[in-house]
Amino acid sequence: MSGSGERYVLAIDLGTTSLKVALVSTTGRIAGAATEPQHVTLLEGGGAEQDPEEWWRSVVRATRRVLEETGVAPATVIAVNASVQWSGTVAVDAGGRPLAPAIIWMDSRGAPQAKRLTDGFPRIEGYGAAKLFRWIRKTGGAPTHSGKDPISHILYLREANPELYRATATFLEPKDWLNLRLTGRCVSTFDSITLHWVTDTRDVGRIHYDERLLRMAGLERSKLPDLVPAATVLGTLTEQTATELGLPASVRVVSGAPDLPAAAIGSGAVRDFDAHLCIGTSSWLVCHVPYKKTDLFHNMASLPASIPGRYLLTTEQESAGVCLTYLKEKVFFPNDELAEGGGPDDPYAAFDRLAATVPAGSDRLVFLPWLHGERTPVDDSTIRGGFFNQSLETTRAHMVRAVMEGVAFNSRWLLVYVEKFIKRRLDAITMIGGGAKSDLWCQIHADVLDRPIRQVEQPVLSGTRGAAFQALLALGELTVEDIPALVPIARTYQPDPANRATYDELFGVFRDLYKRTRPLAAKLNAPARAGALPEGARR
């Protein structure tokens, strides 16, 4: 039940595989949360899509359920704010209706378009030098060669489906489409528009579309939304939306944030150079910084944050928690003719118990977590993962622990370049996401990274907590300085010196395996990476 006099933010966290809705009080207390699973459709050629209307139906179901289960009175809800998966594209008509499934961040079908867009002579890291200089100077980054940025999604759609392109009134990020459903306003924010690579971000308080960048990209300004600053109050709920959600129409809607910068707020690591590590479907290691800077060679940059006037060092590794999901669904407990009993009620708890029976280093079994390519610290859409050094003595317990350690090795690989970027050693690192629920995985990260790991309480709700805090910042209910004290730390894990030598050696093997398998993976996966248009699509 809601406490006497408490007021709440309805915080929405739309991830790739699940949607979470939480009621968070103005003091940071999470009154309750509801979750809805999300389905991803994977297509040949690197496609990855979701249904925006199902996103909305999930929001409605979860909102009504959390209101009912917590007993929070709808009249005490003062705002709605959303943290949503980043780097996606929803094509909508003039009425805001989706014209096709949403292309999400995993989709690499735009790789050929990205290559043509970024090509030129002389080349630097696969980019035309003049184009690269212009992008980095104005935006802080550049389109990735993987084709997974919205700019590549749009160019792919224009080439593969010109009728859909012509019918599209506006191309929106998933967050901005959700706000359109909430308020009727078709806008984007300084932070979420960044990955289109057509905005001038040199003045973080006055970000705007750049005409020269638009021409270079071949994008039409008329098909992109107007821009507002991060943490802007967009208005109130539409009457129809309020009725669907069971909330008063007077509830204010804040502009929201992409998942990564929202989690940075929800982790409590909001001071400059305070880092957090998220182990979700994908993973990242990021921190706020007081400057605009780019590391082209390792695909990381400081981009506009979801805290107004700030920059956030932004990174992303493609596959983290999804590696355990893959092990569960495709290897150990698949829904096929060999399956019996469907596995334990809580397979992830069983994974923890199994992995705890195996010594650090998994008896030298190494797992490479690149199941869907990689973004940082290498931009490589063709690299793939798997187990290395498997033997007849390898058990399922070895495989589970090796997956946990492989993800941690990937985090350490990123840590090397994050610390070079900020020119200082990180101390304690705050850990959030589903992976942070595992005590064993937190300890493995502490040992592999050789850094204390601070496990946030209710780590899977960091996105919703971040959305709530951003809303309260926008409404003047709290300041940035208030946030760290509002995020409880469940436990701090210290590195175990006994495991140092083992993990140092295996990390060296891990990096060497990338170098040695990269050319073979490129040869094997070049057709998938090319994302060639289907027969008859070119016109």
What was the pLDDT predicted at 339? Answer: 60
Residue 534 lies in a domain: no
- If you write DSSP's letter for every residue of 312-355 in order, what string do you get? EEE--BS-SHHHHHHIIIIIIS-SSTT--TT--SSHHHHHHHHH
Q: Is the pLDDT assigned to residue 4 strictly greater than 80? A: no
Locate 169 and state its tokens: 């009134």
Residue 510 lies in a domain: yes
Q: Is the pLDDT assigned to residue 531 strictly greater than 80? A: no
What was the pLDDT predicted at 340? Answer: 63
Q: Average pLDDT in the 507-517 region? A: 98
| Greatest pairwise CA separation for the chain in angstroms | 66
What was the pLDDT predicted at 530? Answer: 37
Average pLDDT, the chain: 93
C-alpha separations of 252 from 56, 76, 268, 285, 326 in Å: 18, 12, 24, 32, 39
pLDDT tens for residues 101-120?
Answer: 999 999 999 999 999 999 99
What was the pLDDT predicted at 539? Answer: 24
Q: Average pLDDT in the 146-155 region? A: 95
The residue among 89, 203, 44 whose CA lies nearest residue 139 is 203
Residue 431 lies in a domain: yes
Residue 367 lies in a domain: yes
Determine the 3-state secondary structure of 491 from DSSP: strand
299 with 199, same domain: the answer is no
What was the pLDDT predicted at 281? Answer: 87
The residue among 177, 111, 123, 186 whose CA lies nearest residue 149 is 111
Q: Is the pLDDT assigned to residue 336 strictly greater than 80? A: no
198 with 277, same domain: the answer is no
Which segments within 64-193 are labelled E, that is strand? 77-84, 90-92, 102-103, 123-124, 127-128, 170-172, 187-189
Q: What is the pTM of this model?
A: 0.89
Q: Is the pLDDT assigned to residue 527 strictly greater than 90? A: no
Q: Is the pLDDT assigned to residue 3 strictly greater than 60? A: no
Dist CA 481 CA 310 (whole Å): 13
Dist CA 486 CA 493 (whole Å): 20
What was the pLDDT predicted at 529? Answer: 38
Residue 501 lies in a domain: yes
What was the pLDDT predicted at 77? Answer: 98
Q: At what angle do helices 500-530 and 396-422 cross, to 10 degrees?
A: 90
Q: Is the pLDDT assigned to residue 337 strictly greater than 70? A: no
184 with 295, same domain: the answer is no
421 with 308, same domain: the answer is yes
- Do 307 and 320 contact (CB within 8 A), yes or no? no
Q: Average pLDDT in the 248-275 region? A: 97
Q: What angle do CA 197, 199, 201 make, to 5 degrees?
A: 110
Q: Is the pLDDT assigned to residue 338 strictly greater than 60? A: no
Dist CA 402 CA 65 (whole Å): 38
pLDDT tens for residues 402-423?
Answer: 999 999 999 999 999 999 999 9
Dist CA 460 CA 438 (whole Å): 11
251 with 288, same domain: the answer is no
State the CB neighbour count (10 A cutoff) for residue 37.
8
Dist CA 450 CA 496 (whole Å): 8
Dist CA 453 CA 446 (whole Å): 5
In our burial notation (b when 16+ CB lie closer than 10 A, e otherwise), range 309-336 reads ebbbbbbbbbbbbbbbbbbbeeebbeee
Paired sense of beta strands 18-25 and 47-50, if any: unpaired
Q: Average pLDDT in the 453-470 region? A: 96
242 with 286, same domain: the answer is no
pLDDT tens for residues 211-246?
Answer: 999 999 999 999 999 999 999 999 999 999 999 999
Residue 104 lies in a domain: yes
Which segments within 167-323 are labelled E, that is strand? 170-172, 187-189, 199-200, 208-209, 226-228, 233-236, 252-254, 257-258, 275-279, 283-289, 294-295, 300-304, 311-314
293 with 365, same domain: the answer is yes
Dist CA 485 CA 301 (whole Å): 28
Dist CA 189 CA 172 (whole Å): 11
What was the pLDDT predicted at 470? Answer: 98
- Do 153 and 89 contact (CB within 8 A), yes or no? yes
What percent of the chain has pLDDT above 90?
A: 88
404 with 369, same domain: the answer is yes
- Do 329 and 347 contact (CB within 8 A), yes or no? no
Dist CA 280 CA 250 (whole Å): 34
Q: How many residues does the chain have?
A: 539
174 with 44, same domain: the answer is yes
- Print the domain residue range for 417: 268-526
Dist CA 25 CA 6 (whole Å): 6
Side chain identity at residue 488, one-letter code: P
Q: Of 255, 276, 310, which one is at a domain's C-terminal end?
A: 255
- Do 156 and 113 contact (CB within 8 A), yes or no? yes
What was the pLDDT predicted at 534? Answer: 30
Residues 6+ positions from 79 with CB-CB distance below 8 Å: 9, 10, 251, 252, 253, 254, 471, 472, 474, 475
- If you write DSSP's letter for every residue of 120-134 in order, what string do you get? -SSEETTEEHHHHHH
Burial (Cβ within 10 Å: 0-12, 13-18, ≥19) of residue 497: exposed
21 with 138, same domain: the answer is yes
Locate 280 and state its tokens: 């979700």
The residue among 312, 186, 285, 279 whose CA lies nearest residue 238 is 186
State the CB neighbour count (10 A cutoff) for residue 290.
9
DSSP H or E segment with residue 493? strand 489-493
Determine the 3-state secondary structure of 270 from DSSP: coil
140 with 282, same domain: the answer is no
Q: What angle do CA 213, 218, 223 make, to 5 degrees?
A: 95
What was the pLDDT predicted at 538? Answer: 25
Burial (Cβ within 10 Å: 0-12, 13-18, ≥19) of residue 489: middle
- If you write DSSP's letter for every residue of 436-479 in order, what string do you get? GG-HHHHHHHHHHHTS-EEEESSGGGHHHHHHHHHHHHHTTS--
Dist CA 483 CA 480 (whole Å): 6
248 with 274, same domain: the answer is no
Q: Of 225, 255, 285, which one is at a domain's C-terminal end?
A: 255
Query: For the ranges 324-333, 440-449, 488-497, which has the lowest average pLDDT?
Result: 324-333
Query: The CATH number of the domain where 133 resides is what?
Result: 3.30.420.40
Residue 113 lies in a domain: yes
Query: For the ranges 98-102, 219-223, 343-347, 498-502, which has the lowest average pLDDT?
Result: 343-347
Q: Is the pLDDT assigned to residue 536 strictly greater than 50? A: no
Q: Is the pLDDT assigned to residue 515 strictly greater than 80? A: yes
Dist CA 152 CA 113 (whole Å): 6
pLDDT tens for residues 284-335?
Answer: 999 999 999 999 889 899 999 999 999 999 999 999 999 999 999 888 887 7
What was the pLDDT predicted at 115? Answer: 94
Q: How confident is the model at residue 341 (pLDDT cuts 50, 70, 90)?
A: low
Q: How confident is the model at residue 461 (pLDDT cuts 50, 70, 90)?
A: very high
Residue 535 lies in a domain: no
pLDDT tens for residues 346-383?
Answer: 889 999 999 999 999 999 999 999 998 998 999 888 99
Q: Of 207, 228, 255, which one is at a domain's C-terminal end?
A: 255
Q: How many domains does the chain have?
A: 2
Q: Average pLDDT in the 382-400 region? A: 95
pLDDT tens for residues 39-91?
Answer: 999 999 899 999 999 999 999 999 999 999 999 999 999 999 999 999 999 99
